[in-house]
Amino acid sequence: GQNIDQPTEMTATEGAIVQINCTYQTSGFNGLFWYQQHAGEAPTFLSYNVLDGLEEKGRFSSFLSRSKGYSYLLLKELQMKDSASYLCAVRDSGGYNKLIFGAGTRLAVHP
Interface residues with another protein (CB under 8 A) are 30-31, 33, 35, 41-45, 48, 50, 87, 89, 93, 95-104
Asked if residues 103 and 23 have their Cβ atoms less than 8 Å apart, the reply is no
Question: Least distance to another protein from the beta carbon of 83, Å?
Answer: 18
**Identity of residue 10:** M
Query: Which residue's CB is nearer to another protein, number 35 or number 63?
Result: 35
Of 16, 24, 15, 11, residue with least CA distance to 87: 24
Asked if residues 82 and 13 have their Cβ atoms less than 8 Å apart, the reply is no
Query: Which residue's CB is nearer to another protein, number 34 or number 63?
Result: 34
Question: Least distance to another protein from the beta carbon of 15, Å?
Answer: 29
Question: Least distance to another protein from the beta carbon of 43, Å?
Answer: 5
Query: How far apart are alpha carbons 49 and 8 in whole angstroms?
Result: 22
